[in-house]
């Protein structure tokens, strides 16, 4: 790749006002240019996952993880209440999950697109559709400089509309990264743990105001979708509880950034909820950096979010299985536990 001067190293190249300097026929190959253009204009790009053995890997993952899920309870309570099944960070015990997350060609591609070295920090494996309200990853996994984060979703089987495919809203990644101060929210002073539900009315209103039409990814096995940090995306309603929608999501950060959760941060009120995340390649914790300088641990600890934190062992699906009356009511599991379940001494189901 031809070396091109970058006057804005703190902006991902695919979202830079100098985009055309970095991505043109003289600088990159045709396929990289296609992907870059789609990410720049639409906020996502579809690729074939670059591993010839992806089909066999997918079958092994499905076989190995199937026993991790309580299928009967989900079909009774989870499906109708739009609760998903998932395994977070299966890379810790499943070699194929780790292999997908650390695929060298994906890492090289993302690094070229963003202008900083990519590294994976989280995996999520789903056997069914998430049925999750559309959201941006930026409120959960953000960075400074902002937008140095992305997701790569891989279909481990063919996906149909009946199985609840990914849904996304093209172009919404170009909107500002709205954080608590834009909504008049001070997370530090909230009586309960901050939740993305605080943002959902805004997202719905933005989509309606700008008349953005959703698109669905009815992927073929082995296809992957890259999305940018601020793209609105979620899981559409699963129409058949007997269908599966096996997939893997890997979330990536990029080097030389600080990493934090805006949802539980108020930077100008003294709260920054820095993330203490593991690089799946080195399997070591990653330091938070600012312009190449390590942010002192004393500062990270001093400004950490000290508000209401939900039990780290909490699992929404397990809680609803243990409390079928809550599941039948249709309320959010986390909200119910924080406001009622804890005081009532209810079981977490774990």
Q: How many CA atoms lie within 13 A of 348 on its CB side?
A: 10
The CATH code for residues 42-309 is 2.60.120.620
The answer to whether 49 touches 222, Cβ cutoff 8 Å, is yes
The answer to whether 116 touches 107, Cβ cutoff 8 Å, is no
Q: Could you tell me the strand order of the sheet in which 215-217 lies? A: 215-217, 166-168, 233-235
Question: Closest Cα to residue 232, out of 298, 172, 321, 301?
Answer: 172
- DSSP H helical segments within 140-296, as ranges? 180-183, 200-209
Quote the pLDDT of residue 325: 75
Question: Closest Cα to residue 92, out of 71, 108, 68, 76?
Answer: 68
Instruction: State the pLDDT confidence band at 308, using cuts at 50, 70 and 90.
Output: low
Average pLDDT over residues 71-84: 77
Strand 87-88 to strand 233-235: parallel, antiparallel, or no bridges (unpaired)? Answer: unpaired
Q: What is the pLDDT of residues 170-187, one digit of tens each?
A: 999 999 999 999 999 999
Query: How far apart are alpha carbons 128 and 345 in whole angstroms?
Result: 30
Instruction: State the pLDDT confidence band at 339, using cuts at 50, 70 and 90.
Output: low
Average pLDDT, the chain: 92
Query: How far apart are alpha carbons 271 and 257 in whole angstroms?
Result: 18
Under DSSP, is residue 228 helix (H, G, I), strand (E, B) or coil? Answer: strand
304 contacts: CB under 8 Å, gap ≥ 6: 271, 272, 273, 274
Question: Per the omega criterion (within 30 degrees of 0), is the bond before 98 cis?
Answer: no
Query: How far apart are alpha carbons 201 and 203 in whole angstroms?
Result: 6
Query: How far apart are alpha carbons 69 and 80 in whole angstroms?
Result: 17
Claim: this prediction has a pTM higher than 0.75: yes
Average pLDDT over residues 193-218: 96
- CATH 2.60.120.620 domain extents, the chain: 42-309
């Amino acid at each position: 790749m031809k070396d091109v001067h970058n006057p804005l190293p703190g902006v991902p190249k695919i979202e830079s006002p100098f985009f055309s300097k970095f991505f043109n026929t003289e600088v990159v190959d045709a396929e990289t240019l296609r992907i870059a253009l789609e990410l720049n204009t639409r906020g996502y790009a579809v690729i074939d996952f670059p591993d010839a053995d992806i089909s066999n890997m997918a079958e092994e993952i499905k076989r190995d993880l199937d026993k991790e899920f309580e299928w009967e309870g989900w079909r009774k309570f989870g499906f109708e209440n739009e609760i998903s099944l998932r395994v977070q960070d299966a890379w810790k015990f499943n070699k194929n999950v780790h292999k997908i997350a650390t695929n060298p060609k994906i890492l090289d591609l993302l690094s070229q697109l963003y202008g900083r070295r990519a590294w994976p920090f989280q995996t999520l494996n789903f056997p069914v559709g998430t049925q999750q309200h559309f959201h941006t990853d930026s409120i959960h996994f953000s960075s400074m400089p902002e937008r140095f984060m992305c997701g790569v979703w891989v279909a481990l089987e063919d996906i149909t509309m009946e199985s609840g495919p990914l849904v996304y809203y093209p172009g919404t990644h170009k909107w500002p990264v709205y954080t608590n101060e834009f909504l008049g929210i001070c997370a530090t002073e909230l009586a309960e743990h901050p939740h993305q539900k605080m943002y959902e009315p805004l997202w719905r209103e933005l989509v309606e105001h700008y008349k953005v039409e959703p698109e669905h990814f009815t992927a073929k096995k082995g296809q992957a979708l890259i999305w940018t940090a601020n793209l609105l995306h979620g899981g559409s309603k699963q129409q058949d509880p007997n269908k599966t929608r096996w997939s893997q999501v890997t979330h990536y950060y990029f080097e030389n950034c600080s990493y934090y959760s805006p949802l539980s941060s108020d930077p100008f009120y003294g709260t920054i909820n820095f993330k203490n995340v593991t690089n799946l390649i080195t399997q070591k914790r990653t330091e938070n950096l600012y312009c190449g300088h390590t942010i002192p641990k004393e500062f990270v600890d001093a400004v950490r979010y000290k508000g209401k934190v939900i039990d780290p062992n909490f699992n929404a699906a397990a809680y609803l299985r243990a409390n079928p009356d809550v599941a039948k009511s249709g309320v959010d599991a986390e909200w119910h536990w924080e406001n009622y379940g804890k005081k009532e001494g209810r079981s977490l189901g774990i």
